[in-house]
Every structure is written in structure tokens, then in C-alpha cells.
Amino acid sequence: MLGGFLGSRDFGIYKGDTIPDSKEDKTEKMWMWFNKENDVNDPRLGVVDLENFDRPAEEPKGKGKTIWSAKFAERPRYEMDRYFQGGQRRAEGRFFGFGIFASGYESDDDDHYFQHPFCSRHQNSWGRINAMWQDHLILQHHVGWHEEKAVGPKVMTKFKLETQAVVTPGTAAAGRTGTYILECFAKGTAITTWEETISVCERSVGEDRTEKYIKRSTEGNDEKFVDRIELTLKKDGEVIDQWVIIGDSAFDRCSATVINECTPFYNSTVNGGFFKRSSSAIQTKGDAIDPALCLMLAHLVSTEFNIQEIKDDLNLHTTSNVPRHQNELRC
């Protein structure tokens, strides 16, 4: 089965090996679809329904019968440990995932992340400004000249996320019973650096007169990495199975244009990689659960619990203010 994104929230599902090209064919040949909305009672929750195209009159216009429905937090809570590079972590070893994986926080050394292909702007390789330059030397440059230099410390953040989706059968779920919970644990690393831009500008100081002046601005920049994602599926409180997804901090995964995952319930191929996903091919497998539920799991893992979503939901509260002491870092 193949699926393609229909805008930012919905996802069409097609049988076979290809996704139709034309808009008309996509509409005509769509088999099922995932419809995402906010919960009517709590806008902090998202709801994804796997729907068919049997549209009863009593349902809202355009809504089919629901086979499975999943509910989850749109902005899950993160726990963070922040420190200056080379400094002392304040909570070493507390970020443990599911016990079966023995995944206490043993991420790579800080240097691994600074050498990552995504991280070139956080290395001390830019700028030619000497901190001892005096203003009159900078003003010798022409108007419009500018340079950047690294300022302040490099801040490391170790973070973890624990969230879940509650999956229940819908109105079209004949013979499907029970409540399933897909638990998601993720942990990762982020780098925050600051750079100062020094520019030579011009301003009016009277009739037909101008003068040069120096403009300084500081900007904080974040680079986030997900080290791993651990997933557990439970039914009525009992564990059915668990699996792991390796994150984008791994050099061989970060730039891949096709991501393949093999899990207990489905095999998936995501075209476009982690960050430019365009379509997904899903092969459900196993007899433990309903194939339509396998589709729901694959969709949740590749959208709501995927690497880019985890990074987008993480707010490091970075501003232009450069911290001077580690106790100024906000966790």
C-alpha cells in the first residue's frame, strides 16, 4: 500500500505500487485516508482517523466511517539537561527508555555532534574578526561590509520525550475490540551557539552629510538531533511488542533520501527521507493485530512520532541573549 500527503494534515492511501499523478485519479482511486483534526473537547490533543469512503448522512460532510481512531498530545512535554560544552552534566544517566532495550543515556561524545554534516555553522570556522579590533579599524571598510564571529559558550542539551497515542476502534471496526496504546520514548541531543554580526552602515547627520557607524547584532542558533526512538504497543495494558528507530544523529541516516524501517507490524519505505517526505509504502505483516491497525501504527510513527516532528516540538527557548554562566540555562 502506498500513501501520499494531502496538504499538511491529511494522508491518502492507495492500493498497488504507484500513486496516481492527476488530481482526478488521486480522488477516484484513493482506497482509504487518514484525516487529522483537533479534539473537539481539548484543542491540545490531535486526533487521526483512518476512514473509508462510506459516508453516512449523519456524519459531517466529507467524513467517512472511521475504522481506527488515535488521540495524542500535540505539544508533548520534554525533559532537558543543559550544560556548557565540556562542562558537567547535571542529570547524567536519568534518561532511560523502555527497560527491554537497556537504553540508559549513553549518547555519543559532544564532538560527534559538532562533526555532524548538519552542524557546520556551529563550528568555529567562520568569521575573520579579531576580538581585539578597534572600531576605527572596522570603519575603514566600505558601507555594507559585514562579518560574523562566534561568541559565548557552546551549549549542549540532552533531552527526552515520553508520550503516547491511544488507539480505539471506530464505527466501521466490525469485530475489532480493545484499546491499544502506542507509547513513544525518544531521546536526543541539541547544540546551541551564538554568532555576532558586525556591519558597517551609513546614516544621515545633517544636510548633505553622512557618516559610517557600526551595527552589532547577536543571534542564537539551534541544531537538534534525535538519537533514537523507542516504541511499545500495548493492548488493555499488556505489552504486545516493542521496536527501535535509529535517529538522524547517525551519519548514515541523516541524509538518506529513502528511509526503510522493519518493525514487528509493518515494513515501511519513506521516500524523501526524514525531512522531505513525499510518500510512504507500507507492507503490513503478522497475525497479532488487524492489518488496518498496522496501517495506523505506521502512520503515527512516520508523522506524529517521526524525527522531524520530535525536533519541531522541542522548544529550547533560545534568544539573542548569550549566557555567561551555566545556571542561566533554561531547562
pLDDT band at 208 (very low <50, low <70, confident <90, very high): confident
Q: Which residues pair with 43 in a beta bridge?
A: none
The pLDDT of residue 17 is 65
Structure-model confidence comparison of residues 52 and 316, the more confident one: 316
- C-alpha to C-alpha distance for 18 and 282, rounded to whole angstroms: 12
Answer whether 95's CB lies under 8 Å from 233's CB.
Answer: no
Which percentage of the chain shows pLDDT scores above 90?
38
Q: Which of 37-46, 174-183, 254-263, 321-330 is least confident?
A: 254-263
* Overall residue count recorded for the chain in this entry: 331
User: For cell 526503510, what's the residue?
Assistant: 260
Per-residue pLDDT averaged across 131-152, rounded?
A: 82
pLDDT of 248 > 70? The answer is yes
Quote the longest CA-to-CA distance of the chain: 85
pLDDT of 271 > 70? The answer is yes
CB atoms within 10 A of CB 88: 8
Structure-model confidence comparison of residues 165 and 13, the more confident one: 165
Give the best-scoring range by mean pLDDT among 92-106, 109-123, 225-239, 251-265.
Answer: 225-239
User: For cell 559610517, what's the residue?
Assistant: 212
Kindly list the domain boundaries of the chain, sorted by start residue: 2-328
- Per-residue pLDDT reduced to its tens digit, 277-303: 556 788 888 677 888 899 999 999 988
Q: ∠ CA 191-328-113 to the nearest 5 degrees?
A: 10
pLDDT of 1 > 80? The answer is no
pLDDT of 242 > 90? The answer is yes
Structure-model confidence comparison of residues 159 and 112, the more confident one: 159
The pLDDT of residue 128 is 46
Answer whether 229's CB lies under 8 Å from 244's CB.
Answer: yes
pLDDT of 112 > 90? The answer is no
Which percentage of the chain shows pLDDT scores above 70?
75
pLDDT of 148 > 90? The answer is no
pLDDT band at 167 (very low <50, low <70, confident <90, very high): very high
**DSSP letters along 164-220, please?**
EEEEEE-TT-TT--S-EEEEEEEEEEEEEEEEEEEEEEEEEEETTEEEEEEEEEEEE
pTM over 0.75: yes
pLDDT of 129 > 70? The answer is no
- C-alpha to C-alpha distance for 79 and 86, rounded to whole angstroms: 21
> Please, where are the H alpha helices in the chain?
23-29, 110-114, 135-138, 251-254, 291-302, 307-313
Look over the chain and give the mean of its residue pLDDT values, rounded to a whole number. 81
The pLDDT of residue 289 is 85
Q: How far is CA 33 from the centre of its chain?
A: 23
Q: Which residues contact 256 (CB under 8 A, 6 or more apart)?
A: 273, 274
User: For cell 492500493, what's the residue?
Assistant: 15
Structure-model confidence comparison of residues 3 and 201, the more confident one: 201
**Sign of the four-CA dihedral 319, 46, 95, 106:** negative
- C-alpha to C-alpha distance for 119 and 234, rounded to whole angstroms: 37
Residue type (1 letter), 105: Y
Q: Which residues contact 306 (CB under 8 A, 6 or more apart)?
A: 274, 277
Burial state string for 29-54 with b = 16 or more CB within 10 A and e = fewer than 16 = ebebbbbbeeeeeeeebbbbbbbbee
The pLDDT of residue 150 is 86
Nearest to 110 by CA among 94, 122, 101: 122
**Sign of the four-CA dihedral 291, 247, 307, 185:** positive
pLDDT of 5 > 50? The answer is no
Burial state string for 226-248 with b = 16 or more CB within 10 A and e = fewer than 16 = bbbbbbbbbbeeeeeebbbbebb
278 backbone dihedrals φ, ψ, rounded to 5°? -120, -35
Q: Which residues pair with 159 in a beta bridge?
A: 80, 188
